[in-house]
Amino acid sequence: MKIAKALKKVTKLKGEISELNSRLQSSSTTLKDNEFEEKYNDLIDEMDAKKEELVDLKNKIMVANVNGGKYKQILTLGELKDYLSTVKNISVTNGVQARSYGEGTLEYKSQLTLADKRTQVKSLEERIEAIVDELDEFNATTEI
């Protein structure tokens, strides 16, 4: 199985585990005179099997990424996405702004212009895209 297909399977397993979590929570109790819709222990067994399958698959993916020299790119990608989120949330408020409740004005100054911020965002997005493209190619061609 290629990494790309394994990643889709990981997503599917996570969805199945989430569904099992909901079923576990809703099936643990019922009114005294009612029958249980599902057996709790059967759901636990199914959950354990799905989680074990998920861990095994994630491990195979990780080993392939480490052996293929892609682990650093994956870590870099995560850090760049985090950094991009930070940059997108940086305030570039500059100049006189009205205060709330009509209590006068405040004057701000910023170390960063909106144009500077947009340039940083674009640069980070391009770096992220390059890594994603490289990983997509690797994932499409690498067997686990």
120 vs 130: CA distance, rounded Å: 16
Please tell me the predicted confidence (pLDDT) of residue 113: 93
Among 72, 52, 65, 49, smallest CA distance to 2 is for 65
Domain range annotation of the chain: 1-67, 69-144
Residue 95 clears pLDDT 90, i.e. is over it: no
Are 82 and 112 in contact, with CB atoms under 8 Å apart?
no
Provide the pLDDT confidence category of residue 2 given band limits of 50, 70 and 90. Answer: very high
Residue 143 has pLDDT above 90, yes or no: yes
122: helix, strand or coil: helix
Contact 7, 58 (CB under 8 A): no
The predicted pLDDT at position 15 comes to 98
Banded model confidence at residue 101, pLDDT cuts 50, 70, 90: confident
Strand (E) or helix (H) holding 44 = helix 40-67
What DSSP state is assigned to residue 99?
P
Residue 74: partners with Cβ closer than 8 Å, 6 or more residues away = 65, 135
Nearest to 140 by CA among 56, 132, 55: 132
pLDDT value of residue 102: 74
Least confident segment among 47-51, 95-99, 127-131: 95-99
Tell me what the mean pLDDT of segment 4-15 comes to.
98
What pLDDT is attached to residue 94? 87
CA-CA distances (angstroms) from residue 115 to 81, 102, 112?
20, 30, 8
Indicate if the pLDDT at residue 132 is higher than 90: yes
pTM of this prediction? Answer: 0.77
Q: Residue 55 — very low, low, confident or very high, per pLDDT cuts 50/70/90?
A: very high
User: For residue 14, what pLDDT is reported?
Assistant: 98
